[in-house]
Amino acid sequence: MFKTKEEYILFADETKKTPQNPYFCFAGLIIKRCDYEDVLVTKINNLKEKHFGRTDIIFHYTDMKNNKGEFSGFRDSSIRNKFWTEFVNVIKTIDFHTIGVYFDQNLMKELYKNSGTTNYDIAYRHLLENYMHFLKEHDGVGSICIESRTFKENMFLQRNHFDYIEKGSIYYSSKNTSDHLATIGFVVKGDNCIGLQIADIIPARFMRIINKQSDNYLLNKTFHEKMYCYGTQEETILGLKNLL
């Protein structure tokens, strides 16, 4: 059933509210499996080798933006500027789409205060719907790769994922979901997964767009222009959707 369809992977990560940002955002990138394995991994590893002398360094966006840990060298503005400029230039050359959902975390908590539903689960379900739209439009089959949390949280999300595939939704029949959605994979934080390292950057940059904050090195612009349905009236529905 899947052999005739293009294979895609959605790498996704979340960012929580901060004093500057009231929103919870779950977002990432959709990329063809072949482009991920043959292009993105190679280009990012080449970038790592050039700037750090090794490919096993793991991009953690919080450390990178704060010049901490392995990225303490970024305190030198010339080193930092050169890296981010080249990073953006590499990202521009790779064919992928960004996608995400977000909502006011306090409002959502108030709305579901007597429910066991978490922000993560709410966001995941809505992101899944938009991923399904992408896969159906591109006649593709897609897997999802996210960072592992606790085993219990992983189990609950996995059950929801396959329940969605089995039963469908108000937008998609079970035939649609079973035709276009495949597996969900969990990667531990220390693994050198290039896709999740790029996804780690996207939610925070999306929130900088929403909160009208500065766009250092044109990271916001670069990820925005790769958004699913960018420049169309569906951008705020299927690209980056505000749930609340």
Q: How many CA atoms lie within 13 A of 187 on its CB side?
A: 19
DSSP state of 76: S
pLDDT tens across the length of the chain (244 residues)? 445 899 999 999 999 999 889 999 999 999 999 999 999 999 999 999 999 999 999 999 999 999 999 999 999 999 999 999 999 999 999 999 999 999 999 999 888 877 778 899 999 999 999 999 999 999 999 999 999 999 999 999 999 999 999 999 999 999 999 999 999 999 998 899 999 999 999 999 999 999 999 999 999 999 999 999 999 999 999 999 999 9
Residue 163 lies in a domain: yes
The answer to whether residue 12 sits within a structural domain is: yes
Flag whether 156 is in a domain. yes
In a domain, 1, yes or no: no
Please tell me the distance from the alpha carbon of residue 73 to that of residue 78, in angstroms, as a whole number.
10
Domain membership of residue 235 as a residue range: 6-242
Q: Is the dihedral of CA 99, 227, 71, 77 positive or negative?
A: negative
Q: How many domains does the chain have?
A: 1
Q: Which residues pair with 27 in a beta bridge?
A: 13, 100
What CATH number does residue 100 fall under?
3.30.420
Let me know if residue 154 belongs to a domain.
Answer: yes
